[in-house]
Structure 1
Amino acid sequence: MKKAIIGFLVLTLLLLTAACSSNGSSNGSGSSKKTITVVWYPNESGADMKSSRESIDKVIAEATGKKVVDKLTTDYNIAIEAVASGNADIGFLAAQGYIEAHKKNEKVLPLVVNSGASGTLKDAVYYSWIGVNAKDADQYKSNGEYSIEGIKGKKMSFVSTSSTSGFVVPTSRIISQFKSDNLTQDDLQQGGKFFKEVLFGQSHQGSAVNLLTGKADVAAFCDTELGRYVDLKSGEFNKVGATYKVKDHAEEPFNNLGGKEFTVLAVTPVLNAPVVMNTETLSKADQKKLLDTLTSDKVADNKEIFAPEGSKALFAKTKDERFLKIEDSWFDEIRNLTK
C-alpha cells in the first residue's frame, strides 16, 4: 500500500513537472505556446484600425507559425500591465509605455521601431501637439506669434500619464517654458496648481475630442493619431500655427465633429513608438523569427503595413520607412524627461 502511494506521488510530480515545462513561460522558452497575444493601446483599438492590426497579426503569424490573438484596451495602463505581467507577448507601446513596462519587468524589451523616411533612426520621430480651438487661437498669440504662454489657468486635456507625446513630452515643454512656476509633472496632473482643471482622454483621439467638444480649452495629442481624421486647412503640416479641420465623414469618435477646427500652438518631435516583447513568454526562436521578418525588405515593401500617406495604416510610406532593431538605451532620452 505504501509503495502504491509513493508511486502515485512520484507520477503526480512528474506530470506537474511536464505541465510546467510545456507551458514554457517560466523559463522564457515559450516554445510550445500555440498562440501569441498582441496588446494594443486605445489609440489603435478602434474599429477603424482593425485592418491595420490584422496586417501586423498576419506577419507575426506567418513568421512564427502560430495563431495570433489581439487584446484591445481602453486604458494605457491595461496594455502596459498586460505585457509586463505576461498576459500579452507583444505590444505596440509608445516610448513611455515601454519604459514603464520594462521597469515593472526587465524581461520586457524592445523588438523593433519604425524608422524615419531615411530608413534610419536619425529621423525616427513623430510629433507631439498642443492645440486649441481655432476660434480661440488668437488669444494665444504673444508678440504676434502663437505661443503656449496663455495656457496657464485653462482647462487642459492630456492623453494619459503613460503617454509619451500626450503627457510626458508636453508637460516637459510646459515645465521648461514656465520655469519661474517651479512646476513638476505631478503639478500638471491635476487642477489648481497651474491649470484650472485637468482631463485625460485615455487616447489621443479622446484628448482631441475633449478639446473640440468644449470640455477643455487646450489639449495635447500627436500627429500620427489625428492625421487620419483631419485635413490641413491652413499653415504647414507639423508647424506651429497650422490649423486642421475634422473631415466631414470622419470615423468615430469624430463622426459628429465634422468641420470642427483646431490650431496648434506647440510642435515637439518624439521618438517613434516601439513594438515590444516579453522575452519570458516569447521563445528565443520566435523572437529571432519576428526580428528577422519584421526588419526584412518584404515587410518594408508591404503596403498593408507601410502604406501610402493618407491611408488608415499604422505606418506611412513616404520614402524608405522600415522596421529597425532597437536597443533599450535608445529610450534614455525619454527616461531623462521624467527624472
Structure 2
Amino acid sequence: MKRIIALVISATLALGMFDACGASEKEKGKSDTIRIVWYPNESGGDQEEARNEIGKIVEEATGKKVEHKLTTDYSIAIEALANDGAEIGFTGAQGYVEAKKKNDNIVPLVVSSGKSGTLDDAVYYSWLAVRTGEEGEYKNGDKYEIDKIKGKKMSFVSNSSTSGFKVPSSSIINHFENDNLKEEDLMQGGKGKFFNKVIFGGSHQGSAVNLLTNKSDISAFCDTVLMNYIDVVSGEFNKVGTKYKISDKAEEPFTNLKGKEFVAINSTPVLNSPFVMNKNLLSEEDQKNLIDMFTSDKVSNNEKVFVKEDSDVKGFFTKTDKEKFLKVEDSWFNPVRELSK
C-alpha cells in the first residue's frame, strides 16, 4: 500500500510539472517548445543519444526547441499526453489507446515499418522468458508450452504495456480458457490466485532484471528494448526456445548481470509502437511537417535512427532492409482495443 501511495504522489507531482511547463501555452501551435515524453524503457542514460536524434528531427521539422520529458512510470507518460502536458510521445499501442480514450486529440504520428517497408510486417515480439537451466520444466516433448506457469512468480512490465502485459496476459487467458480468467486475475498473486506472486518491473529492462535476480520465475518483456543488452547464445532471434545472455557491453541496469542467461519459452508478435502527437497543442502546419519529415528518405537513411545490425550505435529501431517510418491511421490499433473487450 505504501508503494501504491508513493506512486500516486509521484505521478501527481510529475503531472503537475508537465502541466506547469505548458499550461500558459496551450493555444494550438503558439509555444516555441515541443515536449517529447518518453516511457521508462527509453528514459535511461544509455538511450540519450537516440532520444536526442529524434529531438533533432522534430526541431528540424518545426523550427522549435525540443524538451525531453523522462519518466519512471508508464502512467505518467500517458497522463502527460492526455492532459496536454506533452506534444509528442513514443508509446506502445496500448499506451496510445489509453491516451486516446482520455483525450481524442491524441493521434498517431508515425509507426516504424517492418523490414518490407510496409505495415504488413510492422511487428515486434513479446517474450515470456525463464532462467537458463529451468526451461525444461516448460517443455512437452520437443515443444515449449506455458501450462506450467500457473502457480509461479510472475513479472510483467506495467499494466499499460502492450508487450509487457496486454499481449502476454491475453495469451495466458486464452490458453487457460477453462480457468475463466480476467486481466485483473493476473495482476495480483497469492493464495487462490493464478500466480503465486505478481510483480511489475516498471520497464522491460526492469522485468528482465526481476527474472535474472530470482525475483520472478517468469518475466514478460519485449525484443526491441532488450536487444541493446543481449546476445544470442543459441537458436534464432525471436524464436521460441532461443537462449540469450546479457552482453559483456550491457549498461545499467544490467552491469552486474553480464553473462546471465535466459530462454524465451513464448514469443508473440505485437503491433509496432507509434510516435503519437497531441493535435490540440500542435498547429496543422507542425503536424504536416512532422509527418513529412519522419517519413522522409533522410530519416529512413539516418543510421542513428534506423541502426544497422553491426553498428555500435544504440537506437530504438534496427535497419535490416527497407525499414522506415509510415503514416498510420487510428484504426490500425483496433486489434489492441479488442484485447480489452
- TM-score, normalised relative to structure 2: 0.91
Q: Which residue of 2 aligns with 1:165?
A: 163
CA distance in 1, matches of 2:25, 2:66: 17
Letter in 2 for 1:178: F
In structure 2, distance between residues paired with 1:102 and 1:113: 16
CA distance in 1, matches of 2:65, 2:25: 17
Distance 1:83 1:243 in 2: 37
Who is 1:133 aligned against?
131
Which runs of 5 or more structure 1 residues have no equivalent in the other structure? Answer: 1-21
Identity %: 60
Match of 1:191 in 2: 189
Answering whether residue 319 of structure 2 is matched by residue 321 of structure 1, we say: no
Give the superposition deviation at 1:115.
0.4
Deviations 1:201-231, CA, capped at 9 Å, x for gaps:
0000000000000000000000001111110
For 2:249 and 2:56, how far apart are their aligned partners in 1?
29
Instruction: Report the Cα distance in structure 2 between the residues aligned to 1:44 and 1:204, rounded to whole angstroms.
Output: 10
1:55 aligns with 2:56: no
1:16 is matched with which residue? Answer: none
Number of equivalent positions: 315
Structure 2 residue 222 is matched with structure 1 residue 251: no
CA distance in 1, matches of 2:208, 2:253: 10
In 2, the alpha carbon distance for the partners of 1:253 and 1:304 equals 22
What letter corresponds to residue 96 of structure 2 in structure 1?
Y
Once the 2 structures are TM-superposed, how far is the Cα of residue 248 of structure 1 from its aligned partner?
2.0
1:182 is matched with: 180
**Aligned ranges for residues 1-339 of structure 1 at < 5 Å?**
25-26=26-27, 29-30=28-29, 32-192=30-190, 193-309=193-309, 311-339=313-341
Residue 23 of structure 1 and its aligned partner are, at CA, apart by 5.5
Provide the rounded CA distance (Å) in 2 between the counterparts of 1:188 and 1:239. 25
From the CA coordinates, give the structure whose radius of gyration is larger.
1
The residue number in structure 1 matching 2:19 is: none
Q: CA RMSD in A?
A: 1.2
Looking at structure 1, the residues matched to 66 and 297 of structure 2 have their Cα atoms a distance apart, in angstroms, of: 22
Secondary structure of 1:277 counterpart: strand
How far is the alpha carbon of 1:164 from its aligned partner? 0.1
Letter in 2 for 1:170: P
- What secondary structure is seen at the aligned counterpart in 2 of 1:129? strand
Q: 2:113 & 2:91 partners in 1: Cα distance?
A: 15
What is the distance in 2 between the residues matched to 1:37 and 1:271? 25
The one-letter code sitting in structure 2 at the alignment partner of 1:40 is W
**Structure 2 runs not aligned, ≥5 long:** 1-22
CA distance in 2, matches of 1:243, 1:114: 27
Asked if structure 2 preserves the Cα contact closer than 8 Å seen for 1:139 and 1:150, the reply is yes
The answer to whether the Cα contact below 8 Å between 1:131 and 1:266 also exists between their aligned partners in 2 is yes
Distance 1:233 1:24 in 2: 51
Give the Cα separation in 1 of the matches to 2:48 and 2:25. Answer: 30
Quote the Cα distance in structure 2 between the aligned partners of 1:196 and 1:316: 37
